């Protein structure tokens, strides 16, 4: 049995090696798939449908994944999820090789890939408190977000270069292959502590209900979830249509789009450094609200962008505060929610807060066929600003590190 610092170092190496590979492949995929859709259809509506298909699992699969993460081996869930994603991504170039690739197949594969990804991501956020000590959570989450952001920088550059030099299908081969070394890194993980007492002993539906009740009874988590739901209407429109906006409105090349993502990622890295410096000294809830406000201002700037440089600058203003918000939000949940129910709370919070993404992306794609997409971005950004102002009192809430006894399910 590996003990002490040796085990911690082993977990750091294995966890972050797997995370780097997963995030890098994921970011390349997220650029490649809308590029493929645009090449096949040149339709904003089709791209919106694809975004809907890919984000629906965040709503329906996340709570189930959270329940499974509290019931089954979290390591095994992540290993199986990574293997499924790798195989499914490789189906895209395989279907193209046999000339069977149709938009319907892409929808099905996209849904299944996103479903496996939802299982991996929910479990990945749940397993951190079992691998690292409580006083390390802010630093670990900041480093995790640093990897996520750096993968945008390098993933976007790799995707842009490969697409321009070799075409779209070799990119999917690379992405599919990167999932399998992730499995090897996950096999090396060993937990410092197991789930807390109180693991699931009830039926599946009742156990899901326990996570929902915990979330509802926690005033701050409940308010944050509602606020994220509203703000994600604008974020969903932006994420789903950014590649379309770049190509249709600004006529950017794949390399220029890669630089947009890369430049924004540099700003995000700066945000991660900043939140790691001030996150423990400042009011975390107040910082989260401020970050969402600044992010909405960035979307307004995107609506007025004229070239790749102004787009890169405004995407940086939009996305860096989101990264800071994610670090603060994740750390806050890990500190206050008991380990044995953390998976279900994460799953329920993800389901509710992200429920607006699929519909927002889908409707933006449909409306973009009728209305200039700049006007859509501007309208939704203003709505986000109003929502953040409405919830500004949340920032005055006293930060609490609650124990299990302070919030009880009825």
pLDDT tens per residue, range 102-120:
888 999 999 999 999 888 8
Question: Average pLDDT of 367-378?
Answer: 89
pLDDT of residue 8: 54
Does residue 195 lie in a domain region?
no
Contacts of 281 (CB under 8 A, 6+ apart): none
Q: Which domain holds residue 307?
A: 4-190+201-406
Number of domains in the chain: 1
Give the C-alpha distances (Å, rounded to integers) separating 300 from 96, 240, 315: 39, 16, 10
Give the C-alpha distances (Å, rounded to integers) separating 381 from 31, 228, 318, 366: 23, 13, 10, 18
- Residue closest to 299 by CA, chosen among 311, 286, 287: 311
Strand runs labelled E in 59-160:
none
User: Chain-wide mean pLDDT for the chain?
Assistant: 79
Question: Average pLDDT of 7-14?
Answer: 66
Tokens of 184: 């090897």
Using CA atoms, how far apart are residues 154 and 292, in angstroms rounded to an integer?
25
Question: Average pLDDT of 367-374?
Answer: 88
Contacts of 400 (CB under 8 A, 6+ apart): 220, 336, 406
Using CA atoms, how far apart are residues 385 and 366, in angstroms rounded to an integer?
24
Which of residues 157 and 312 earns the better pLDDT score?
A: 312
Task: Read off the pLDDT of residues 159-210 as tens digits, 9 standing for 90 and up.
Answer: 777 788 877 888 898 888 888 888 888 887 776 555 544 444 444 566 667 7
* CATH number assigned to the domain comprising residue 63: 1.20.1250.20
Task: Read off the pLDDT of residues 307-335 as tens digits, 9 standing for 90 and up.
Answer: 999 999 999 999 889 888 888 888 888 77
pLDDT of residue 32: 87
Which of residues 84 and 369 earns the better pLDDT score?
A: 84
Does residue 121 lie in a domain region?
yes
Q: pLDDT at residue 7 above 50?
A: no
Which of residues 262 and 300 earns the better pLDDT score?
A: 300
Which of residues 219 and 92 earns the better pLDDT score?
A: 92
Does residue 196 lie in a domain region?
no
What DSSP string runs through 222-234?
A: HHHHHHHHHHHHH
pLDDT of residue 118: 84
- Residue closest to 74 by CA, chosen among 9, 35, 130, 157: 130
């Amino acid at each position: 049995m590996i003990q002490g610092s040796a085990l911690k170092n082993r977990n750091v190496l294995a966890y972050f090696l797997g995370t780097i590979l997963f995030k890098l492949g994921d970011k390349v995929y997220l650029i490649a798939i809308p590029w493929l859709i645009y090449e096949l259809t040149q339709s904003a509506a089709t791209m919106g449908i694809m975004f809907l298909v890919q984000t629906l699992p965040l709503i329906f699969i996340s709570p189930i994944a959270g329940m499974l993460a509290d019931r089954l081996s979290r390591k095994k869930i992540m290993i199986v999820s990574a293997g499924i994603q790798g195989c499914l991504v490789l189906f895209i170039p395989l279907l193209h090789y046999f000339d069977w690739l149709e938009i319907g197949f892409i929808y099905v594969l996209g849904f299944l890939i996103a479903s496996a990804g939802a299982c991996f991501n929910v479990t990945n956020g749940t397993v951190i408190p079992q691998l690292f000590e409580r006083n390390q959570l802010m630093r670990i989450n900041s480093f995790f977000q640093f990897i996520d952001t750096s993968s945008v920088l390098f993933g976007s550059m790799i995707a842009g270069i490969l697409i321009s030099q070799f075409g779209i299908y070799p990119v999917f081969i690379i992405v599919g292959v990167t999932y399998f070394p992730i499995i090897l890194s996950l096999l090396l993980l060993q937990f410092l502590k197991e789930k807390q007492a109180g693991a699931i002993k009830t039926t599946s539906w009742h156990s899901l209900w326990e996570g929902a009740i915990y979330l509802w009874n926690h005033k701050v988590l409940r308010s944050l979830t509602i606020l994220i739901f509203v703000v994600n209407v604008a974020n969903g429109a932006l994420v789903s249509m950014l590649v379309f906006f770049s190509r249709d409105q600004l006529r950017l090349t794949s390399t220029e789009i890669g630089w947009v993502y890369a430049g924004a990622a540099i700003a995000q890295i700066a945000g991660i450094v900043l939140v790691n410096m001030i996150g423990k000294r400042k009011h975390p809830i107040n910082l989260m609200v401020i970050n969402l406000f600044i992010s909405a201002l960035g979307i307004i700037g995107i609506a007025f962008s004229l070239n790749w440089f102004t787009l890169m600058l405004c995407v940086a203003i939009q996305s860096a505060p989101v990264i800071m918000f994610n670090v603060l939000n994740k750390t806050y949940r890990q500190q206050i929610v008991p380990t044995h129910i953390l998976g279900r709370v994460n799953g329920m919070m993800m389901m509710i807060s992200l429920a607006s993404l699929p519909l927002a992306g889908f409707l933006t794609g449909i409306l973009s066929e009728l209305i200039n997409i700049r006007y859509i971005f501007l309208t939704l950004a203003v709505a986000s600003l109003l929502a953040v102002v409405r919830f500004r009192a949340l920032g005055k809430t006293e930060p609490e590190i609650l124990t299990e006894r302070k919030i009880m399910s009825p």
